[in-house]
Amino acid sequence: MDFSPLIIGAMRLGRWGANFSDDQLEQYVNECLELGLDTFDHADIYGDYTTELSFGKLLVNNPGLRSRMKIITKCGIKMVHENRPAHTIKSYDTSREHIVHSVENSLRNFNTDYLDLLLIHRPDYLLDPAEVAECFTELKNAGKVKAFGVSNFSADEFDLLDRHFPLVTHQLEISLLNRDAFMNGTLLQCMSKDIRPMAWSPVGGGLVFQPSSAPVVNRIKRASKQLCEKYGCNLDQLLYAWLLRHPAAILPVLGTSNIERVKSAKKSLDIPLDREDWYVLWSASTGEDVP
């Protein structure tokens, strides 16, 4: 399945962030589509279980939009909230019953007949791969979900489920401030299976754009200053370009609700980051040269 080279994260579009009005959301989505960024990343829990519903209202009012976009959503986390009164403790649930119920809710929320991609949001200690695979097969055969993946799994957890049902992506936290995926085998696994990983929090939650006393943040800022001058780019563009340079063909999930930042991020697609400059940033992050 083809996704746009930058994925639009929906987590901060609603109650957990910008709290867009209907008109503001419509304008933001249309501008993203005009930029050629047609993939929107949701989760059932976003906005305390309200963001999918807001997005679905947009699709009802603009019926032509659905065919122009790809919708990702996630399930498996059960939050304690008044919008889910049956949840008595935060937990994970990958039972067939919960996955099917979550998909049916998401389809209603989005006012659509299908989801382009469903991700299991977090590893579930009680996950039964055979049960999940059977559920995925049922949803796919019914035309309700086109493809499936996971988020935040270890390489072993991914492999266990993938042996039972083919997964198309793995969404992970990947940035200069979180380099685990480069070292724990998850990116290598994606490459070996020829799937493109998705990177959430690709600029480290924005910490590098704020005043900080953290040595790692200040090392990255110092190293980036010269490189931004060299490539004629902004810091955010450089950080995205650093991810995009990796041969795993990482797909950054943008966490911003500011369309100007989305436009800025898109320019990172045209930055030909040199191999040594990639390692300049790596060394700035670790605080030492590679071994």
| pLDDT tens profile 241-260 | 999 999 999 999 999 999 99
Residue whose entry in the numeric block shows the structure tokens 């032509």: 64
CA distances to 102, 204, 249 from 242, in Å: 35, 13, 11
CA distance 152 to 77: 12
Closest CA to 13 of 67, 63, 53: 53
| pLDDT tens profile 154-188 | 999 999 999 999 999 999 999 999 999 999 999 99
- Count helices and strands in the chain by DSSP H and E runs: 12, 10
Q: Is the pLDDT of residue 235 over 90?
A: yes
Q: Flag whether 284 is in a domain.
A: no
Mean pLDDT, range 107-136, rounded to an integer: 98
Q: Flag whether 289 is in a domain.
A: no
Q: Is the pLDDT of residue 1 over 90?
A: no
CATH for 132:
3.20.20.100
Hey, how many other C-beta atoms are within 10 angstroms of the C-beta on 148? Answer: 25
Q: Flag whether 226 is in a domain.
A: no
Q: Flag whether 280 is in a domain.
A: no
| pLDDT tens profile 70-119 | 999 999 999 999 999 999 999 999 999 999 999 999 999 999 999 999 99
Report how far apart the first and last C-alpha atoms of the chain are (Å, whole number).
37
pLDDT band at 275 (very low <50, low <70, confident <90, very high): very high
CA distance 21 to 179: 36
Mean pLDDT, range 19-45, rounded to an integer: 98
CA distance 185 to 177: 17
Q: Flag whether 224 is in a domain.
A: no
Q: Flag whether 39 is in a domain.
A: yes
CB-facing half-sphere around the CA of 50: CA atoms within 13 A: 14
- Per DSSP bridges, beta strands 91-92 and 77-78 are antiparallel
Determine the 3-state secondary structure of 146 from DSSP: strand
The count of domains in the chain is 1
Residues with catalytic function = 46
The answer to whether 50 and 83 have CB atoms below 8 angstroms apart is yes
Q: Flag whether 265 is in a domain.
A: yes
CA distances to 37, 79, 193, 252 from 3, in Å: 9, 29, 17, 11
Q: Flag whether 142 is in a domain.
A: yes
Mean pLDDT estimate for the chain? 97
Q: What is the predicted pLDDT for the residue at 118?
A: 99
| Domain span including residue 115 | 7-210+236-270
Q: What is the predicted pLDDT for the residue at 124?
A: 98
